[in-house]
Structure 1
Amino acid sequence: MSVPAPVPNLKRSLRRFDIMAMGVAAVISFDVIGQIAAGGGQAVTWIAVIAVMFLVPYALVFAETGAAFPQEGGPYVWVEVAFGRPAAVLTTMFYWVTNPVWLGGSLVFVAAAAWDGFVLPLGSGTVADYAFKLAFIWAAILTAVVSLRRGKWITTAGAGAKVLALAFFTGTAVAYGIQHGFRGLQGAGFAPTGVGFLALVPVLLFAFVGFEAPNAAGDEMLAPQRDVPVAIGVSGAIAICCYLLPVLAILSAAPPGKVTGVGGFMDAARLVFGIYGDGREPVLTFVAVLFVVALLTQGSAWMIVADRMQAMAAADGGFFSRGLGAFHPRLGTPVRMNLLSGVTATVFMAAAMNLAKGDASAVFGVVLTVAITTLLLSYLAVVPSLLALRLRHREVPRPYQVPFGTRGFTVATLLVYAWIVLGSWVALFPGTLEQLFGLPYDFRAVWGVSRLTFEAFTLGTVALLLAVAVAGYLTQRRRTRSRDEEREAGPAR
């Protein structure tokens, strides 16, 4: 079994708590909580179903693989060992680019809406709006640039801010419900429907994937074989609570049909914090700041891990120049890839600002779907690679194993893969399965843009990424071949 060469000068600094905190910071997505709650009462039902039918088997197979193959680069290494470099390069491209797209097109919009509504007014499309979004993006990037020994404390603080804000909001919503009655839950409609399922499945899968992300820093963990399975299990349990309880709290307080993806959490907070009387505004401002900090560190946590994956692909000869895969000798971070992520996020933010002529809700929904699509598409290769490694490399020690051995691992992997295929299709071609099964679906009413605009943005992004990945791989391959030919030819006479 051949794996990419280890990165020199990396320092092992990630303990079990750090891995768990990084998973919480990365996976629990404030920006999708409102989007999930917009699905109504059945969102709670589908959270429970997907937690059992998807998250549990997902956590099991990734915990086993992450402990058995803890090399720097994580999923890039797994796919390369299983299916070869071309597949790994393409997979990593989609996995990596999801994060600058998400940072520049979704997280920054939710953060700006919270800051504008609860801290200081920014307006829409103003100089202040652009300045805030640029500062947000580059603060997340700079957080990823600093050494992991220090940067891990920033993501840990973000994880703490996230859990604190969600716990405070949920507790306040319970107090509000006791005082005013839980009227929102009475008309929420928890009965599952086909329309609700197809609307929610991509965003719920997006909300629950990513617990393997810290494995991208595998060579910087102190004891990955021991710590990865426990960290995935604990962070997965925290994630279930941090989605289920706040969504229930939003539904209990917000009037039916008034929850939106871009403002769902903070709009519900504005309502339930009314129980604090004259203290509502200061409390709202404080929670809004926590909210923005949590979003910022969420973006930086993904930049830390995804940039390492893409840097490993570049260093391994799979992306334009090996120089893009260089890790800074003192910081131990892929600074060039970090900066490339910042530029990509900035470009995508500018493009998203012009989508739908500044309709923030429509922009948010479409751009979030782009991020969901690119991430889920990457798992179309990552998940099968886990099974391939299990079957082809039985000699590798596995400190943790899925119950029932290879048979249990196979069943869990196939179940996870079926969910990923379904989520990828629904995210890329919304409304098609509804049409197939005769379910009602008004595209413009759902997305706020035409199907042509939507598909141009989503399919255009996917096509562009495919082209860039192929070009990056072929460029580096041609350079390597030219150098080999020069060495074989020897010095000129």
Structure 2
Amino acid sequence: MTQAPQPADPATPDLSEGWGEQRSRLRKDLRRRDVLFFLICTLVGLDTIGSVAAQGPQGLSWMAVLALVFFLPYGLLVAELGSAFPVQGGPYVWTRLAFGRFTAGLNQVLYWISNPVWVGGSLCIIALTTWEQFFTPLPGLWKYVAGLAFIWIGAFAVVQSVRVGKWVPIAGAVARIVLLGFFLISVVVYAIEHGVHALPTGQFAPTYVGFVGLVPVLIFNYVGFELPSSAAEEMKNPRRDIPLSILRSGLASLVLYGGPILGILFVLPAKEIGGLGGFIDACKAVFTVYGGHVAADGTITLTGAGSVLGGIAAAGLIIGLLTSGITWAMGAHRAQAVACADGAGPAWFGRISERYGTPVRVNILSAVLASILLVVALNLTQGNGEKYFAAGLGLAISTTFISYVITFPSLVVLRRKYPRTPRPYQVPGGMAGVWTVTILATGLVAFTVVVLVWPGFGVGWFGTGGSAAASLPPSFAGQRLQYTLSQVLPLALFLVIGLVFYACGAPARRRSAERAGAGSGERAPDTQAEDLVPGL
């Protein structure tokens, strides 16, 4: 019996005629060094250092555990997908090849929209808080002005060509290395002069209550490996550079993230560490060694060189926050533009600028959404920074992680569907290894979504200790319904936006189907693997 020939595996999926028209406007200006700094800027998040430190020493324990059971499997998973399918749009393309355009389109909207939620939410509020702590108060209208300036400066940077824009993550990575390195040096000086808080061994013991509180922020700081793949066709050699950059940036991020958390714990009592101001307060405390003092009530005053260095560090922190948002936007926006050009969204947003080689229209739309969120959130929370921070960060994480629940299983499906695709890097262990990393990565992000929507999930069950209510963010104490609605209602709205986007992509899908029908007289592009491969 003669076996029917199998379609060749896709190396560079063409997706649709709409994206094919835009591909020629991309510019290959990203080298391995650029990808490495891009990932360091992505992975080392300055907005959640305080949230992890607020859980005490067990935060470091859980950080080590999750590095093994999530960070490593996730890195292996993305290294294979990114090197096997080095196509512009990265996560969207992987999901599209695995599960089809409709699923990938809805999934991509969640992945993309989490960026304006994050920028207009937690990043913006930490930047504003840092400014007020180190420079000057922002009363009334000035808080809105400063927040909008933060958002639109970032939008301007994201719009720039990759040759110019790549210097933003480089600057962000350097700012992180300098800021966090100087902070650790200052901790040592502070310890010599004032001593440090003892960290009893028992406090490092991991607990389930601590896990539920920490898993969202820890895993959120461990994600971002897939972002450079969204700009794969702007890299010189993505098949080689993506796996190597993932390895190097992963090791660097563990050091850059873990060191400051330990420093905060040495300087501040755990009960005084807040999720929003933990890192800021620790910086102010250690910088008193250069000039200043800590009053009996805990009020910190910087003077002389301490005040100058504190201001420099504050500027570095704000730059770090801004570049985090920019770097994520550079990846997420590109993937959304590919989705729109492919017929999973309005074709108008899938246009790549001839002048800049970037998806300017998606960039501007994201900045508008972030601005709306900023204004709405500041009004709904009556200026309560901690409440704004908790709701914004939780929503950004859950939105991103829901998309991961769909994207990560693409590894298993694509190994089966396209076994002959060249894979410069493969997850070790054959299909058993593939299933292992997929189950670990997908399972943990799915669990994270549950505990974000319902903090304290599982706490106090089966006679165990602890109270689920205590797992609510302190700013939402006793307000579980209000917190849950702050997560669920926006998520429902985002899904509706995804459906609207997909409906708006109908004309592009019809054109693509007509083109395929004219060529073969058979099935539409979504049902033929061959149609995803140019030149077959």
Confirm or deny that 1:349 pairs with 2:378.
no
The TM-score normalised by the length of structure 2 is 0.87
Aligned to 1:460: 489
Give the alignment partner of residue 329 of structure 1, picking from 354, 364, 381. 354
Matched residue type, 2:269: P
CA drift of 1:393 comes to 0.8
Secondary structure at 1:14 match in 2: coil
Aligned to 1:171: 185
- Structure-to-structure mapping, 1:264-413, within 5 angstroms: 264-277=278-291, 278-319=304-345, 321-413=346-438
CA distance in 2, matches of 1:446, 1:93: 27
Secondary structure at 2:204 match in 1: coil
What CA deviation, in whole Å up to 9, does each residue of 1:228-280 have, x standing for no partner? 00101111111111111100000000122111111111100111111112311
CA distance in 1, matches of 2:97, 2:508: 23
CA contact (8 A) 1:380 1:417 kept: yes
**Which has the larger displacement, 184-193 or 82-91?**
184-193
Matched residue count: 485
Q: Using a 3 Å threshold, how does the CA distance of structure 1 residues 446 and 187 change in structure 2: closer, same or farther?
A: farther
CA distance in 1, matches of 2:258, 2:222: 12
CA distance in 1, matches of 2:473, 2:194: 31
CA distance in 1, matches of 2:216, 2:402: 11
Aligned to 1:491: none
CA contact (8 A) 1:184 1:256 kept: no
- Structure-to-structure mapping, 1:110-129, within 5 angstroms: 110-123=126-139, 126-129=140-143
CA contact (8 A) 1:366 1:447 kept: no
The percent identity for this pair of structures is 39
- Structure-to-structure mapping, 1:13-412, within 5 angstroms: 13-123=29-139, 126-186=140-200, 189-277=203-291, 278-319=304-345, 321-412=346-437
CA drift of 1:479 comes to 7.0
Confirm or deny that 1:440 pairs with 2:467.
yes
Q: Using a 3 Å threshold, how does the CA distance of structure 1 residues 480 and 422 change in structure 2: closer, same or farther?
A: closer
CA distance in 1, matches of 2:91, 2:201: 43
Q: Which runs of 5+ in 2 are unaligned?
A: 1-9, 292-303, 518-536
CA distance in 2, matches of 1:187, 1:251: 13
Matched residue type, 2:115: N
What CA deviation, in whole Å up to 9, does each residue of 1:182-223 have, x standing for no partner? 215349821111111111011111110111111100000000
Q: Using a 3 Å threshold, how does the CA distance of structure 1 residues 260 and 188 change in structure 2: closer, same or farther?
A: farther
CA drift of 1:322 comes to 0.5
CA distance in 2, matches of 1:188, 1:460: 40
CA distance in 2, matches of 1:13, 1:261: 38
CA drift of 1:12 comes to 0.5
What CA deviation, in whole Å up to 9, does each residue of 1:133-177 have, x standing for no partner? 000000111100000111101221111101210111012112212
CA drift of 1:436 comes to 3.3
CA drift of 1:481 comes to 4.4
CA contact (8 A) 1:96 1:306 kept: yes
CA distance in 2, matches of 1:335, 1:482: 24
CA drift of 1:482 comes to 9.2
CA contact (8 A) 2:111 2:403 kept: yes
Secondary structure at 2:33 match in 1: helix
The TM-score normalised by the length of structure 1 is 0.94
CA drift of 1:394 comes to 1.0
What CA deviation, in whole Å up to 9, does each residue of 1:89-147 have, x standing for no partner? 11111111111000001101000100111023223xx1211111000000111100000
CA contact (8 A) 1:54 1:416 kept: yes
Secondary structure at 2:382 match in 1: helix
CA contact (8 A) 1:38 1:261 kept: yes
Matched residue type, 2:121: G
Matched residue type, 1:57: P
Secondary structure at 2:205 match in 1: coil
CA distance in 2, matches of 1:65, 1:458: 30
Secondary structure at 1:247 match in 2: helix
Aligned to 2:533: none
CA distance in 2, matches of 1:284, 1:186: 30
CA contact (8 A) 1:9 1:332 kept: yes
CA distance in 1, matches of 2:205, 2:14: 48
CA drift of 1:441 comes to 2.8
CA drift of 1:475 comes to 2.8
CA contact (8 A) 1:444 1:451 kept: no
RMSD (Å) for aligned C-alpha atoms: 2.0
Q: Which runs of 5+ in 1 are unaligned?
A: 489-493
CA drift of 1:447 comes to 3.8
